[in-house]
Amino acid sequence: MSRHRRPLYSRRVNAARIALAAGLGLAALHPTAARAEDPPLPKVPTHRISYDTTFGVRLNPLGLELQNNLAYRHRFYDSDSRALRDNGFGVGLSPTVSPSISRMGGFVEVRPLTLLTLQAGVHHVGYLGSFDNLQSYALASEDFSDTARDVGDEAGRAYPTHGLEAYLRAQALAKIGPIVIRDEVTFTFSSLALKDGSSHYYHPRFDLLVPNDGWFVHNDTDLVYFSDFGLVAGARVSTTHAFTPDESLGTSASETNSPMLRLGPLLAYTIFDTPGASFNKPTFIGMAQWWVLHRFRTGEDVHQGIPYATVAFRFEGDLFRSD
């Protein structure tokens, strides 16, 4: 899949995002202000080494991925305010594996306050030539439907290759009572070793034909309710767009492969939350989004009634904490 991400929700909102293949990504959120019944939160350590792991499967398009993050984080300042307490600088490694793709790289992160996170990262990406990946194209308007890629794989057009992906990401949060709004936007630049004559390739994480040596953007907007017993319920709207050169575009609206839009409900349940534990926040996540805009998943190749569906399991923990 390599399909994300990203990410997903856990009960405590200072957890890292979870991205399932393109983004599954339900990010963990933190309230902007405490309710009267909210218990005091434990102090955030000055130095911390933490990890998180997410395993997920996806339908329409099909995907399977194991994503890991290992990071060192340094707190900038101490604060009892829920809007300010989760601040700091971080640097980490983020390996990801799936049946057809491997990704190895890292990221740097700056969080001036709980409500805003800025992140940049780079990965070396390897496509194994399996499960229809990778397939490349001369134009952005070409057919990358499931059926067309299956035919291409049978014809030997899928091949192994490698390259680099770099991204810039920003996440903003807001809270009114138990309702949290989160918006996360990610700009990605990719440069792969494609076959001669190819300028675009199918990106299985984002289900999109993307320009090689070019940019595309993905945005997730979530509106969720946080219960006091570990359940998170709400909805997500996701949009994706490739910045395609004019000379690579199709000649008619029916050949336009982006932007894409999907929306639908999400649920997550965290079994327990013990701050500072080496194994913490085991969380089950489920999400279903129906395609509103997609050249091939709104009836041309796949019936629009079939949702983009994700099921995942996530956990995290602290390996080292110090003031």
As a whole number of angstroms, the distance between CA 223 and CA 22 comes to 19
309 close to 291: Cβ distance less than 8 angstroms: no
Tokens read off for 198 = 């190819």
CA distances from 136 to 222, 232, 243, 303, 317 (A): 32, 39, 17, 25, 39
Tokens read off for 45 = 């350590």
| Superfamily for domain range 47-322 | monomeric porin ompg (2.40.160.40)
Q: What is the pLDDT of residue 13?
A: 35
Q: What is the pLDDT of residue 82?
A: 85
Per-residue model confidence as pLDDT tens digits over 48-75: 999 999 999 999 999 999 999 999 999 9
Q: What is the pLDDT of residue 19?
A: 30
The SS3 call for residue 204 is: coil
97 close to 126: Cβ distance less than 8 angstroms: no
Instruction: Give, as one character, the DSSP assignment of residue 194.
Output: P
Mean pLDDT (the chain, rounded): 87
As a whole number of angstroms, the distance between CA 15 and CA 48 comes to 13
Q: How confident is the model at residue 43 (pLDDT cuts 50, 70, 90)?
A: confident
Tokens read off for 111 = 């969080």
For residue 215, give the amino acid letter.
W
Per-residue model confidence as pLDDT tens digits over 105-118: 999 999 999 999 99
Helix (H) or strand (E) holding 154: helix 146-154
Q: What is the pLDDT of residue 141?
A: 87
268 close to 9: Cβ distance less than 8 angstroms: yes
Q: Which of 238, 233, 242 is nearest to 183 (CA)?
A: 238
**Kind of pairing, strands 308-322 and 96-97?**
unpaired
**How many Cα atoms within 13 Å fall on the side-chain side of residue 1?**
25
1 close to 309: Cβ distance less than 8 angstroms: no
As a whole number of angstroms, the distance between CA 89 and CA 84 comes to 14
Handedness of CA 186, 191, 195, 197 (dihedral sign): positive
The SS3 call for residue 103 is: strand
CA distances from 240 to 187, 209, 210, 215 (A): 10, 11, 10, 11
Q: What is the pLDDT of residue 136?
A: 96
Inform me whether the pLDDT recorded for 223 exceeds 90.
yes
As a whole number of angstroms, the distance between CA 246 and CA 140 comes to 10
**Sequence-separated (6 or more) residues with CB below 8 Å from residue 68:** 51, 52, 53, 54, 93, 94, 95, 96
For residue 145, give the amino acid letter.
S
Instruction: Give, as one character, the DSSP assignment of residue 115.
Output: T
Q: How confident is the model at residue 256 (pLDDT cuts 50, 70, 90)?
A: confident
Q: What is the pLDDT of residue 116?
A: 97
The residue with greater pLDDT, 201 or 140, is 201
Q: What is the pLDDT of residue 108?
A: 98
The SS3 call for residue 83 is: coil
Per-residue model confidence as pLDDT tens digits over 27-39: 343 333 334 345 6
**Sequence-separated (6 or more) residues with CB below 8 Å from residue 228:** 37
